[in-house]
Amino acid sequence: AQKVTQAQTEISVVEKEDVTLDCVYETRDTTYYLFWYKQPPSGELVFLIRRNSFDEQNEISGRYSWNFQKSTSSFNFTITASQVVDSAVYFCALSEARNSGNTPLVFGKGTRLSVIA
């Protein structure tokens, strides 16, 4: 069975601080995908990144960076120089890879990030 654990329920930082959101996953699949979504107070799910299990290269996109480590089954997300607009709930998710290419996402419980001005 697949499982995603986000141990940090809530994090509060002061603007301009860096913050790392942790994600640990469990799966028996050798091929899978990992995701991060942002859910702002308005409630929609905003896709941030997808990572294939075969690609362990870290990725940077502006102030966002992701650290994928297969050895520890972790896919952590760092926001550099946080801003108030980063305040949201962040979800890590996992999906197995199938020939059909269409599988349900398994989400973690989310981490609520509050950035204080």
CB 65 within 8 A of CB 35: no
Binding-site size for another protein (CB under 8 A) equals 25
Tally of CB atoms within 10 A around 64: 16
The pair of structure tokens assigned to 29 is 């699949």
Q: What does the per-residue mask of binding to another protein show for 52-91, with x meaning CB under 8 A?
A: x--------------------------------------x
- Site for another protein (CB under 8 A): which residue of 16, 18, 40, 50? 50
57, 40, 60: which is closest to 112 by C-alpha?
40
In the complex, the residues that contact another protein under the rule CB under 8 A are 31, 33, 43-45, 47, 50, 52, 91, 93, 95, 97-110
